[in-house]
Structure 1
Amino acid sequence: MNDFAVLWDWLAFGVRWLHVVTAIAWIGSSFYFIALDLGLTKRPGLPHGVSGEEWQVHGGGFYHIQKYMVAPASMPEHLTWFKWESYATWLSGFALMAIVYYAGADLFLIDRNVLDVSAPVAILISLASIGLGWVLYDLLCKSPIGKSDTGLMLLLYVILVVMSWGYTQLFTGRAAFLHLGVFTATIMTANVFLIIIPNQTIVVADLKAGKTPDPKLGMQAKQRSLHNNYLTLPVLFLMLSNHYPLAFGTRFNWVIASVIFIIGVLIRHYFNTVHARKGTPHWTWGLAGVLFIVIMWLSTVPKVLTGEERLSAAGERFVASTHFPAVRDAVMGRCAMCHAAEPGYDGIHAAPKDVFLDSDAAIARQAREVYLQAGRSHAMPPGNVSGITEGERRLIVTWFEEAR
């Protein structure tokens, strides 16, 4: 059993590493081509069909790049396609989600205080939501509103905000952020697999058949590519967030996720503007910084918004008890290794069930659960992994029953 656990953990590590490697390859090529596209310049005398060109220097040499909006008069002998980076990123990411969140659904995916469902049902909800995201997005892009880039982007943002809230009503905070990232990344990869590459394939086939390719195919692919460009940075944040409970484990986590999309767009706007040689909008970094401070503030669950300005009268009694110092030492030593903002127990990345026991106030607020789970029963710690003693359990019972 221990050997299997070790192998499974290394499998997760290996797949995570693969996911990072393929994501770097995909994001790197995506950013490069967006920057290249924005930096193209027109000049008299360009070959027929060329919309712009650019000179670049790198690695001790010079590159002369020209872009054909439809296709050149004849196909080159060697044509490089950029698609496997995207496919490998999504496949490795989905495999990682299955290894961590589906195989460990009871710990990482399901919060029965949020939605009390079985692991198979939670997994089905997960899969359905991811597929639904692409279907809804694709329908909107192909609808009349898809002709307005601004209107489409605003509507898509509203959908992302709704999904940010919706996922927090279904899963743990950690899983909610991860699913929002997968929801968005699935749209991005499906854009490549179902729109961008098929459209380019049709263009190549038409050219070989001596037909004039439809320019709309290129315009459609360019719109989807632009969406991918603006969605990349928020996805990176969401994927990294599982290491930071202050991002996903707070009451306003869905608001934080919604604001992150705006920050990502601001940063991409800066780089896109610079690459297009249309100025240097430094204000985007200033506004992004302000918004980041806002989400830092939201992560502390402001008391003015939650109404939790001080402990209840019962909570004050628990803290004032003569037994509390000893109880606090026991809870801090036996429970807080998992139930903390930054758990120290191996394999635990967020406080289970969002229960925190890392401060006097937190212990007092959870007094009843500590009493039931670790005092009156042996439910916690699981398997008594932290070695809580019978004396400590009796002390918790005495403390709670006297202060109640």
Structure 2
Amino acid sequence: MFAPLARECTSSIEAWWAREAELPEPEQKPASWLSALSDGDKVAWWEGDTVFLRLGAASRSVAHYATRIFFLHQVLSNPTAYGAPAGGFSNVVVVALPELAKKLRYRRSWHHGLLAAVVHPAVPQFRLRDVADAVGAPAADRASMRVYVSAGVENLARGRRVPCFRRAVLPGQLDARFFVPDGDGPGAASAAAYAEPTFDTAVGATPWADVARFRLQLAGSVGAAAPPPLRRTLLYVTRAGQPRSFDAASEAAFGDALAAAAAAAGFAYTRVAMAAASFREQVDVASAAGVMVGVHGAQLAASIFLPPGAVLVEVFPYRFAHRLYRGGCGAGLKYLSLALEAGTEWPALAAHGGDAAACVATDAACRDHYRSDDRPLGWGGGDAAVLRERLAMAFGHVVARTGTA
């Protein structure tokens, strides 16, 4: 009777290892297998409590990488919820594909900067010698958590010994969000814990303590004394020249509309192509903004650097929507969106009864079509009217929080 259930559970667990933990071809071994290795002195132990994070191909994307690295942040910020002592974890071990390991080592990159912020004040170590020496070192000999980055598990062992963890947490990736509210974690049963933040949630108070901690860590990792205050600046993060961007005429019209609205409201206006900016440049420009505007895409991941109480205005292609940034990433931001009024219909829309929402929900090719990755976006008069309305709300929100001066 229980055999089918046992087989199904085993299959589900293996699927989780492969999908969430990004462990290829996982195997389940009996305890006797490990005992035999240990008795033969063929195990190199990582002592203490370890967070083991593997970064696969999906983490090449800035946004997908962020959903994984912020799960690491969630674990490190709440150690007792994940079985570690109140003092925190002994080790963080990050194993990445070779190309990702290079990005993690490159100090100007988004990948390096975000990891450095999440583990601050610990400093990631990349030399293979440091990683190898850490295996077997007593956790009690360490004054603080250590962070190691490797291009492969095979590099973690000494010689032919198998690296094993005394106790380890393997975080997966957060589901279409970057931050987790207090109470939303292992064992959470309250539906309220999963609710999206309200626009007026104070980031320094429950339930968003993890966000406040990240902002402090981010400031420390880039050498700032404290997170910056909210300012009256409108930032346009453009995708010009990249997939899912406006055509040349529409890009100019959209930029002009933003600049004019900012001037009328007494806001400074800045336009930045995030794809060409270093991590530190992205932090500096976003943390100085009160309002960020951009078309849906990875460049909006920089909204996590906005000050608490800032506003994110997300522009969606015709008939497309996505929930990654909805609610302001759970980062205490006010969130507004704008859906472009014109675009090209999916050729097979009639097969779905002309219902674009149903088409997008059930047909991957339809969803990719409306995502507009390969077609330039247009900007119309109706869009401009909605933008003015959204910006008025955004400016009012920032002004109310920065005083009348």
The two structures have a TM-score, normalised by structure 2, of 0.27
Higher strand share: 2
Q: Which has the larger radius of gyration?
A: 1
Higher helix share: 1
Of the two structures, which has the highest relative contact order with CA contacts closer than 8 Å and spacing of 6 or more?
2
